[in-house]
Amino acid sequence: MDARSVIAAVRDGRGLSPEAAEWFARGLAGDQVSDAQAGAFAMAVLLRGLDGAGRVALTGAMRDSGEVLSWDLPGPVLDKHSTGGVGDSVSLLLAPALAACGAYVPMISGRGLGHTGGTLDKLEAIPGYRSGVDVERLRRIVGDVGCAIVGASERIAPADRRLYAIRDVSGAVESLDLITASILSKKLAAGLGGLVLDVKVGSGALLPGMEAARGLAQALVSTANGAGCPTSALITDMSQSLGHSAGNALEVLEAMETLTGSAVNEALWDVTAALGGEALMLAGIADDMDDGAEMIDAVLSSGRAAEVFGRMVAALGGPADFVERYPDRLPASPVIVPVPCPRAGFVARIDTRALGEAVVRLGGGRMRAGDRINPSVGLSGLAVIAEEMAEGEPLALVHARNDDEAARAVAAILSAYDITDDQPEEPPLIHDRIGPEEMP
């Protein structure tokens, strides 16, 4: 077998067999496949597509191109993946909550992508927190604490790492098949017994339209289940920031307020409980989604999830007293400026992508690969859809490094909000569910 024959088969619509996928993934991880051939393969997949079997084959082959973890633990190994949004700190609540319910969570997460925030960037706002660990240390922490939120090692899905970079420069990023295989190969390499997916839809999502979001959710669920991992997906709302804050340290602060009960964000809590209920049902810990959500509610309310989170932070290099002293431990910006509402009325629409881009321009994300992130900047107190505003009342607070950057952010946020006289309906938090039982 050779690269040309694999590419030609996909190009001509003859599909991708498991044997061809395995050979090509090994070639990507090694040196048998050139950059030009990898780009040609990605373009062939983009233009001709793969059927369900081909998608499963590619996902499994990229998963198996590196180390696939196995576990010997007294409970199920679970994880969650989000397609990315603004003000979404669910992972910080969900991982310890699942662990407190008896699951084990090796959550391999990523950094910010475009206007969307990254879980690793948020956690690294905690002084001393180190997300880069080897497999042996990951095993120890997950076994001892119950969860660890870390970055992927170079030993995990190396074929995907190579193909991802080539897709970016060859115009093949938008392929549903390649997106699916990329997401799942890394997740399934963690040796999961169950996976729940949070697919965002709305103005702040990578896929803002419902049809595209549902298509991705269905592709992910069918492929993951076809690869042997029980998986379901929720399509959740991103027509506005999920939290009232957007920005790394500010989102950690909001997550900690919710974990400790000092100032609960109900939307953040409810999405966490819904996703956790799905995961616990998939693992057999809960009888159904509602039972699972109640279990998540209980460990959040009791403080057990907060205690697990604190142990995880300490195990990964952060302060041992972080849960007790998180307001003092997180960095703060020197400039905080309100964004005055230009008129009385109701929040009718929010360009949530613009909010995320404002955070990036403040220094809370990367304009170019390798940019350093300022963890303290961002937005807090974000007004929500259907909220009544008085003239001059803050739509948000801007946390910035200096007055000039704050002024630019204020202008961007004013442009992102539409205020009308009539009160609109509040958008639902969860739009749809795609479960394994719905797949053909």
161-170 CB contacts, 8 Å cutoff, 24+ apart? 162/28, 162/29, 162/38, 163/28, 163/38, 163/41, 163/42, 163/62, 166/35, 166/38, 166/39, 166/42, 167/42, 169/39, 170/39, 170/42, 170/43
Catalytic one of 55, 63, 80, 162: 80
167 is known as an active-site residue = yes
Q: Where in the chain is the domain with CATH 3.90.1170.30?
A: 335-420
Q: Please tell me the least confidently modeled range out of 267-276, 365-374, 375-384.
A: 365-374
Q: Please tell me the least confidently modeled range out of 21-30, 218-227, 372-381, 430-439.
A: 430-439
Catalytic one of 55, 63, 81, 431: 81
Q: Where in the chain is the domain with CATH 3.40.1030.10?
A: 78-325+430-438
80 is known as an active-site residue = yes
Catalytic one of 59, 64, 65, 82: 82
Q: Where in the chain is the domain with CATH 1.20.970.10?
A: 3-63
Contact 327, 254 (CB under 8 A): no
pLDDT of 139-157, one tens digit each?
A: 999 999 999 999 888 888 9
Say yes or no to pLDDT of 439 above 60: no
Catalytic one of 182, 185, 223, 239: 182
Question: What single-letter DSSP state applies at residue 393?
Answer: -
Residue 156 neighbours by CB distance under 10 Å: 22
Sorted by sequence, the CB contacts under 8 Å of residue 142 that are 6+ apart come out as 71, 73, 104, 105, 106, 148
pLDDT of 391-411, one tens digit each?
A: 999 999 999 999 999 999 999
- Asked: is 335-420 a CATH 3.30.930.10 domain? The reply is no
Q: What is the CATH number of domain 78-325+430-438?
A: 3.40.1030.10
pLDDT of 96-136, one tens digit each?
A: 999 999 999 999 887 766 677 789 999 999 999 999 999 89
Catalytic one of 89, 119, 223, 239: 119
Catalytic one of 64, 79, 88, 237: 79
Catalytic one of 55, 161, 167, 329: 167
Q: How far apart are the first and last CA of the chain?
A: 31
Give the Cα separation of 219 and 79 in Å (integer). 18
186 is known as an active-site residue = yes
pLDDT score at 369:
62
Mean pLDDT for the chain?
94
82 is known as an active-site residue = yes
Contact 124, 112 (CB under 8 A): no
Say yes or no to pLDDT of 174 above 80: no
Give the Cα separation of 208 and 115 in Å (integer). 13
Contact 158, 31 (CB under 8 A): no
Fold classified for 3-63: 1.20.970
pTM (predicted TM-score): 0.92
Q: Please tell me the least confidently modeled range out of 28-37, 125-134, 258-267, 365-374.
A: 365-374
Catalytic one of 187, 353, 399, 431: 187
200 is known as an active-site residue = no
